[in-house]
């Protein structure tokens, strides 16, 4: 749960508050309890100003080239495990509705590992997390640490008994080669 305030401009140019409310994440059957994703803002194209504060379309979790996303996520503690999933089709549909197309970027044979065409600006807000790259190379990050992720293959691991809370600005990029 997170408070989100949005500003905009009226047609006469006056700045106004257009939204002030609580955003909540969904409990997803395919993720361990305490895992959360909050998609706060984003667009699939470069912003144009002034704006009235209407939330742009962001039909997928990861942005296309020229798009961006503003997200928070929480990684569940190491001991938090998925329970049995009674209806996999419903669970998959729920995941797709909450985090559109996220699954297509994930590597099924290496859980958590993924590569996206984005520059990710990540900040660890709470907790301790390990960032894994190719060949198992890892770095330990703690609250206040930042990562600039340039389209690399990676996975996040919480190896503690406390949740890890992170912020990410995802900027859609083009992959040249």
**Residue 13 lies inside a defined structural domain of this protein:** no
* Total tally of structural domains belonging to the chain: 1
**Mean pLDDT on 106-127:** 93
Look at the block and give the residue holding tokens 């749960």. 1
Over residues 28-85, the pLDDT tens digits come to 888 887 888 888 889 999 888 888 999 899 999 999 999 999 999 999 999 887 778 8
Residue 46, in any domain of the structure:
yes
Is 12 part of any domain?
no
Contact 58, 45 (CB under 8 A): no
Q: Tell me whether residue 165 is in a domain.
A: yes
Answer yes or no: is 16 within a domain: no
Q: What is the pLDDT of residue 129?
A: 96
The two three-digit tokens of residue 32, written as one number: 């361990």
Domain hosting 116: range is 25-172
Separation in Å, CA 155 to CA 53, 103, 159: 34, 14, 13
- Domain membership flag for residue 2: no
Residue 102, domain CATH: 2.60.120.10
Residue 33 in any domain: the answer is yes
Residue 48 lies in a domain: yes
pLDDT of res. 142:
95
pLDDT-derived band of residue 169, with 50, 70 and 90 as boundaries? very high
pTM over 0.85? The answer is: no
């Amino acid at each position: 749960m997170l408070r989100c305030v949005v500003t905009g401009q009226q047609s006469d140019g006056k700045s106004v508050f257009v939204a002030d409310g609580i955003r909540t994440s969904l409990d997803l059957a395919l993720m361990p309890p305490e895992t959360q994703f909050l998609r706060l803002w984003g667009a699939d194209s470069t912003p144009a100003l002034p704006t009235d504060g209407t939330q742009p379309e962001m039909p997928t979790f990861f942005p296309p080239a020229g798009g961006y996303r503003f997200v928070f996520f929480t990684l569940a503690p190491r001991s938090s495990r998925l329970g049995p999933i009674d209806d996999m089709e419903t669970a998959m549909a729920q995941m797709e509705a909450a985090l559109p197309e996220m699954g297509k970027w994930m590597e099924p044979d290496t859980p958590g590992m993924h590569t996206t065409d984005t520059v990710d600006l990540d900040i660890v807000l709470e907790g301790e997390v390990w960032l894994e790259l190719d060949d198992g190379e890892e770095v330990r990050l703690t609250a206040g640490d930042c990562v600039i992720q340039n389209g690399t293959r990676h996975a996040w691991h919480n190896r503690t008994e406390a949740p890890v809370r992170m912020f990410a600005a995802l900027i859609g990029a083009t992959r040249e080669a």
